[in-house]
Structure 1
Amino acid sequence: MEERRRWEEMDMDCLVNIFQRLGLEDLTLGVPFLCKSWYRASLDPLCWRVLDLEPLDFMPWSKFTKRFMTQYSLHHFSFSGFMKLVAMRSRGSAIELRFPPVFGASMHDLFHASSDRWPGLKKVVLPNLLMEDEVHIPELVAKWKELELLEMQSKPASFSEMVTEISRNCKNFAGLRMFGSIKKDDVLAIVRLLPKLKHLCFDKSYLPKEQLLMIMDGCKELEKLSVKDCIGFEADEEVMRKTSGIKIFESEGSKLFDDSGYDTDECDPLYVHVI
């Protein structure tokens, strides 16, 4: 009987083509430890263009963390150490970086994702940060010259400064997604500095109708506007008329008042829904 071809003997380009579709857990804990040819293929920068950390559980007691410590013979797990490994393997090739929503990421880790590490980042998803860390976001964003899409778990206190840096440094910037209390000053910064936005998402935010109309008047090139489950406006006739020129407008679940019937015109940011 003719011997079947072995997986480890596959052409290197074929292996790389397969491995670049895998997640970081497989690339760090699975593929490299199976055989030498797979290990070599897993080091190709093409496998590390999308760095999605969101599905990984970095808690000390998680299966992922314990397995990582075992595979790399570590006495303790460090998120910063994990980021250094990913940076070394990617060799600056990453175009997308998604941080875990809450646990693990610090401003130190974020600066490791600066232009020195991944100069070609086009999409970044930032985690929730402490208030003292948020002031550094404008400085950080300014380093991502190729940035096109930015997602944030919450609106930073330095939002206006961040938008200013995006306008100055990110010439291809086209999309923003964040949650929070969207105030008039925030909208003015967007329409003044980022009038050519293509995609904007404020789902589950506090967004008064006045601010929503300002966005639609100021960002004429919007192709998608998502404001689902917001508090502060209803999709009435005026709103629908203003959005008629936008290809995709999503406002399902948005309403003028909160569930208790309280007028949210003076909405406290702590009220806003957070994912």
Structure 2
Amino acid sequence: MEDKNEDNKTDPGVLAHDWAELTHECLVNIFSRLSLEDRWLGSMWVCKAWLQACKDPCLNSVFDLETHFDSATELPIFWTAEFERKIDDMIRSVVDWSGGSLTEIRVRHCSDRSLSLVAQRCPNIQILSIKSCPHVSDVIMAEIASGCPKLKELDVSYCYQISHKSLATIGSHCPHLHILRRNLMNWMDPSQHDRIVPIEYLNNYPQDGDLEVAAIGKFMPNLRQLELHFSKLTGKGLALISEGCPDLEYIDLSGCRSVSRRDIANASSNLKKLKNIKKPNFYIPRSIFRTERYGHWQLYDERFRTDG
């Protein structure tokens, strides 16, 4: 019995040797079944072979952190320069590893620093979601428009340095754009962002609602979905959308208090393909924000610590 038990024991050294002998292709196949979090916070730190496998372009065609942001409470630290640098560093790494195969980016709190590299080296991007980016400007969006003509979905919500000029430029260069999200923060209840978003940023709230939708109506005729939470567009602006975007199937006007029921009815009658329009709701409860730190971001901080 004693000999049999000893025979059944697994030698850790043998197991480690077997894993070390796996080919790059086998490792890539295995890692493709893991989540992005498991790869970035686990696999790539085991050894050089595993790190190289995690850098394979086929594992870096999609970079999606939105699920982590969605499940986390918005924190003041997200709006700091240090956190922005960490996100920029992650994006730049993925762009390097993707070898031009990157098709989808969903992040928040990045800046022109990383998006310039996206514009230069990611011509196949189809989905770009960059919500809550205080340092993304019209200049870099012009580069994105020129370098990423295959865009089908764009989310520039809560990006207050982006203006109607960017919307016009993107529309002119990206004819396949079908989904646009240009949501803004709730300016009717600023307490939602109190002590979280810097007050100087909130003061930059875009006031040119009709200019933005005029650009959308003129340069984005193939839109099918449009979100405009808390935009200051008026009935005149909504009419421009209904005239210029005949293929719209869905519009979200939550919080757009400057449009009337008549404005919405007129726009709806002009949009023959419209399936759903989310109308403004002026009863908006005050949000309660928790302040605990979200565990995933603590781990990202450890892996992507930057100086200064």
TM-score normalised according to structure 2 size: 0.61
Alignment CA distance shift 1:26-1:89 (3 Å): farther
Question: Which structure's relative contact order is higher, taking Cα pairs within 8 Å and 6+ residues apart?
Answer: 2
Q: Does 1:216 align with 2:242?
A: yes
**Quick one: distance in 2 between partners of 1:3 and 1:11?**
26
Q: Does 1:33 align with 2:45?
A: yes
Letter in 2 for 1:238: A
Q: Does 1:119 align with 2:123?
A: yes
**Quick one: distance in 2 between partners of 1:149 and 1:114?**
15
Whether the aligned pair in 2 keeps the contact of 1:203 and 1:228 (CA below 8 Å) is yes
Mapping for residues 218-257 of structure 1, pairs under 5 Å: 218-235=244-261, 238-239=265-266, 241-242=268-269, 245-255=272-282
Structure 2 SS opposite 1:99: strand
How much has 1:33 moved relative to structure 2? 3.0
| Counterpart residue number, 1:46 | 58
Alignment CA distance shift 1:16-1:130 (3 Å): same
Give the aligned CA root-mean-square deviation in angstroms. 3.9
**Quick one: distance in 1 between partners of 2:136 and 2:130?**
15
**Quick one: distance in 1 between partners of 2:258 and 2:116?**
36
Match of 1:206 among 197, 208, 232: 232
Structure 2 SS opposite 1:114: helix
| Counterpart residue number, 1:86 | 94
Alignment CA distance shift 1:248-1:89 (3 Å): same
How much has 1:198 moved relative to structure 2? 1.7
Alignment CA distance shift 1:258-1:53 (3 Å): closer
Q: Does 1:107 align with 2:133?
A: no
Alignment CA distance shift 1:239-1:34 (3 Å): farther
Deviations 1:46-72 (A, max 9, x none): 211111234279x9x99xxxxxxxxxx
Alignment CA distance shift 1:134-1:214 (3 Å): closer
Whether the aligned pair in 1 keeps the contact of 2:224 and 2:250 (CA below 8 Å) is yes
Alignment coverage as a number of residue pairs:
237
Whether the aligned pair in 1 keeps the contact of 2:136 and 2:159 (CA below 8 Å) is no
| Counterpart residue number, 1:268 | none
TM-score normalised according to structure 1 size: 0.68
How much has 1:36 moved relative to structure 2? 6.4
Give the share of equivalent positions with the same residue, in percent. Answer: 24
Mapping for residues 1-275 of structure 1, pairs under 5 Å: 8=19, 16=28, 19-20=31-32, 22-34=34-46, 38-54=50-66, 55=68, 78-100=86-108, 102=109, 105-116=110-121, 118-130=122-134, 133-154=137-158, 156=160, 159-180=163-184, 181=207, 183-235=209-261, 238-239=265-266, 241-242=268-269, 245-255=272-282
Runs (5+) with no aligned partner, structure 1: 63-76, 260-275
Whether the aligned pair in 2 keeps the contact of 1:138 and 1:158 (CA below 8 Å) is no
* Higher percent of residues as helix: 2
Runs (5+) with no aligned partner, structure 2: 1-6, 79-84, 185-206, 286-308
